[in-house]
Amino acid sequence: MNFLYSIFGVPLGYILWACYAVVKNYGVALIIFTLLTKLLLLPLSIKQQKSTVKMALFQPKIAELQKKYGNNKQKYQEELMALYEKEHYSPTAGCLPMLIQLPILFGLIDVIYRPLTHILHLSGDVITSLTTIAQGTGQAISSYSPQISILNIFHTNPQAFASVGAEITDKLSSVSLNFLGINLGSQPTWAFNVLILIPILSGLTALLSSIIMMRANAPMTEGQAGSGMTKGMMFIMPIFSVIIAFQVPAGVGLYWILSNILQTIQSLILNKIYNPREMIAAAKAKEEEEKERKRLERLEARKRAAEEAAKYQNENAKKNKNKNAKPLKVEEFLSDEELTQKEINRRKLAEARRRDAEKYGEEYVEVTDEDLK
């Protein structure tokens, strides 16, 4: 796991380092860093959104296959694979953006939790020495983000770190953890002060983000199993966020708040541009249009065949000098399903006239468009 943190943390760490080099404030650098990483991940988020919508379109077809082949798993799998192939859809396509984002998230965690490594570029040996000194002061060190705790302890008791040398202490002094009057190195407690806002806002923004995402995904999850569990997670994760925010320095909680806010804004924008309901409706309309196009193509082919058949039989009747044979129409070779309502009405009226002509010995009169009005 540390290997993953390091691999993805190093390049992302340089982004945070560049942000801090410009603004010289850890809190402001976090805001810029969070915004930049969200922008970097935006193409994956768009791909994920589109893939989720497409999967929602498959749900009715998959449910139909389950109903039809529920007792025959092998046949169900065969038909499901055939459906995927026909629609040019890969069920793993929706997982790919998420799988790519996971290691990046590991890198983000590493960057936020280890400012000594990624902002000050201190070596492992130096950080170990700083950890030993910080532990010797008797102040609490967060197990989640010890490097932020070390920075905070240094700013409250810089004399204790004199043994590491002026070069290192100057670097530590250069990192400002104050942001809008909040010490981002301090750990929030239940005491009534400004720090308590960090865990509360962390939970509230997580809840807001979950609610907006759930509402946006409602058209894509209708009728799917597990919706109750999803609603439960909508409340569990914000509560979990509040609990953890009390156990880490305020800087980590600030990052969560910023990330939740940006996630909410991103969800609103993506759902405006790639609206699930509109995309599903458009896809269904396109599917119906394609079905109608194919139906008309089949009908046109049948009509051409019927024209040839009618022409052939009429020519045979003339050759055989069958005067009683009535000219055949194309419609007589087509089924009701292949005719328009007007053609069906024409056929019915023509049949009625033929019966009357045969019954009363009258001359058969062709049906015209005027007769159908």
SS (H, E, C) 94-117: CHHHHHHHHHHHHHHHHHHHCHHH
Whole-number mean pLDDT of the chain?
Answer: 79
Least confident of 217-226, 270-279, 330-339: 330-339
Reply yes or no on whether the pLDDT at 324 is more than 60. Answer: no
pLDDT confidence of residue 131: 93
Q: Please tell me the predicted confidence (pLDDT) of residue 310.
A: 63
pLDDT of residue 170: 92
Give me the pLDDT at residue 230, please. Answer: 61
Average pLDDT for residues 33-55, to the nearest whole number?
Answer: 83
182 SS3 class? strand
pLDDT digits (tens, 9 = 90+) for 128-185: 999 999 999 988 888 878 888 898 899 889 999 999 999 999 999 988 878 888 888 7
Q: Which of 89-98, 114-123, 306-315, 336-345 has the highest mean pLDDT?
A: 114-123
Cα distances (angstroms) measured from residue 253 to each of 145, 152, 195: 11, 15, 10
DSSP 179: E
Contact 276, 53 (CB under 8 A): yes
Report whether 30 contacts 112 (CB < 8 A).
yes
DSSP state letter for 145? -
Q: Name the nearest CA neighbour of 96 among 52, 60, 151.
A: 52
Q: What is the pTM of this model?
A: 0.64
Which tokens sit at 249?
């320095």
Centre a 10 Å sphere on the Cβ of residue 192 and count the other Cβ atoms it contains.
7
Whose structure tokens read 């070596």?
A: 123
CB 179 within 8 A of CB 32: no
With 70 as the cut, is the pLDDT of residue 332 above it?
Answer: no
Rounded CA separation 295/344 (Å): 17
367 residue type, one letter: V
DSSP state letter for 334:
S
CB-count exposure of residue 263 (10 Å: 0-12, 13-18, 19+): buried
- Residue 54 and residue 230: Cα distance in Å, rounded? 20
Q: What is the mean pLDDT of residues 60-82?
A: 82
Handedness of CA 15, 16, 22, 27 (dihedral sign): positive
Q: Is 373 helix (H, G, I), strand (E, B) or coil?
A: coil
Our separate counts of H helices and E strands in the chain read 13, 2
Q: Higher model confidence: residue 11 or residue 204?
A: 204
pLDDT over 80 (residue 117)? yes
pLDDT above 90 coverage of the chain, percent: 12
Closest CA to 94 of 146, 37, 52: 52
Provide the residue ranges of all domains of the chain, joining segments of one domain with +. Answer: 1-119, 279-372
**Better pLDDT: 124 or 97:** 124
Which structure tokens are listed for 132?
């030993």
Res. 237: pLDDT tops 70: yes
Mean pLDDT of 248-274: 86
Q: How confident is the model over 253-257, as a mean pLDDT?
A: 88
Q: Are 263 and 210 in contact (CB under 8 A)?
A: no
Half-sphere exposure of residue 8: CA atoms within 13 angstroms, side-chain side = 17
What are the φ and ψ backbone dihedral angles of 182, each rounded to 5 degrees? -110, 135
Neighbours of 114 (CB within 10 A): 22
| Confidence check: pLDDT of 201 > 90 | yes
From CA 203, how far away is CA 209, in angstroms rounded? 10
What pLDDT, on the 0 to 100 scale, is given for residue 169? Answer: 93
First to last CA, the chain: 78
Bridge partner residues of 183 (DSSP) = 178
Say what the pLDDT of residue 199 is: 92
Poorest-confidence range of 102-116, 139-153, 217-231?
A: 217-231
Q: For 74-102, write each residue's pLDDT tens digit.
A: 888 888 888 888 777 776 766 666 677 66
Residue 336 predicted with pLDDT over 60: no
Which amino acid belongs to residue 42?
Answer: L
Express as a percent the part of the chain with pLDDT over 70: 79
**What torsion do the CA atoms of 309, 314, 319, 320 make, to the nearest 10 degrees?**
100
